[in-house]
Amino acid sequence: MSENTWRGFPREDFTFEGHACTLVHPKTPRTGRPWVWRAEFFDAFAQADEAMARAGYFVAYISLSDRYGCPDAVEDMEAFRQTLTARYRLADRPHLFGFSRGGLYAVNYALTYPEHTGKLYLDAPVLDIRSWPGGKGVGTGSPKCWRECLACYGLTEETAKTFDRNPLDRAEELAKANIPVILVAGGADKTVPYAENGLPFAARFRQAGGNIKVIVKPDCDHHPHSLEDPTPIVAFLTKED
């Protein structure tokens, strides 16, 4: 285990079951030791992560890249959560941050373990693997990532056509689990098209009675993620319901 700093906060880097992990400690933890969990791309467009650390939240990450939120990856996530809560006495229900393909990890974890999920912050999230990496709609897709994704889920090109376990397919189920969601996306996203991911997800989630706040940046492509001023994100996540 090594100790360093991240944006002025104490940082631990360690390995858990072969996966590189990071835990950032707030200078003054909030009561109950709450935390946020970046599902992918630690330190990328991390305005909200840093603001949450300043608000007294721990920030955690485990590298499970190139597994696209598949069931095995979700089980590794749960093992990580159990270890963090035991070792550091962290709160039982972290808020998950799902950026881009991290949306698959965050939502699939929340659907599998709603009792261990606080709120979700989804940012330009992948919510249908056929959209990305499949590229079966209007987006660019990624042939290499699509091959990896099919293998992770045990799918073929043919069976992927009827795959119904995407986060988009299960938006109603997530809404019924009473997990609040804030979704930030670019309206001009060419990589993970909003019209194929965030837009239909939010509509289904809201129709099912879910609590969701949507912020669309009309002219923004896939990057940059987040908001220059993350105050609306932080306010949503820290509000006591």
- Residue 144, token pair as written in the block: 């290499």
pLDDT of residue 235: 97
Of the candidates 51, 4, 57, the residue with the CA atom closest to the CA atom of residue 27: 57
Of the candidates 208, 202, 211, 204, the residue with the CA atom closest to the CA atom of residue 179: 211
Confidence band, pLDDT 50/70/90 cuts, at residue 121: very high
pTM across the whole model: 0.96
The amino acid that residue 7 corresponds to is R
Query: Any idea which residue has 């220059």 for tokens?
Result: 228
Compute the average pLDDT of residues 86-101: 97
User: What are the beta bridge partners of residue 58?
Assistant: 35
Confidence band, pLDDT 50/70/90 cuts, at residue 3: low
CB 122 within 8 A of CB 107: yes
Of the candidates 238, 239, 241, 240, the residue with the CA atom closest to the CA atom of residue 57: 238
Residue percentage of the chain with pLDDT more than 70 = 98
Q: Helix, strand or coil for residue 176?
A: helix
Domain count, the chain: 1
Q: Residues 5-42: pLDDT tens digits? A: 999 999 999 999 999 999 999 999 999 999 999 999 99
Helical (H) or strand (E) element with 116: none
pLDDT of residue 114: 98
pLDDT of residue 240: 77
Q: Which domain holds residue 40?
A: 2-238
Q: Residues 180-218: pLDDT tens digits? A: 999 999 999 999 999 999 999 999 999 999 999 999 999
The amino acid that residue 233 corresponds to is I
Confidence band, pLDDT 50/70/90 cuts, at residue 236: very high
pLDDT of residue 1: 57
pLDDT of residue 111: 98
Of the candidates 68, 187, 197, the residue with the CA atom closest to the CA atom of residue 128: 197
Question: Distance between CA atoms of 198 and 158, rounded to whole angstroms?
Answer: 25
Of the candidates 222, 126, 226, 230, the residue with the CA atom closest to the CA atom of residue 184: 226
- Residue 74, token pair as written in the block: 């979700």
Q: Residues 142-195: pLDDT tens digits? A: 999 999 999 999 999 999 999 999 999 999 999 999 999 999 999 999 999 999
pLDDT of residue 225: 97
State the CATH number of the domain containing residue 213. 3.40.50.1820
Mean of the per-residue pLDDT values for the chain?
Answer: 97
Label residue 80 left, alpha or beta by phi (over 0 means left) and psi (-120 to 50 means alpha). Answer: alpha
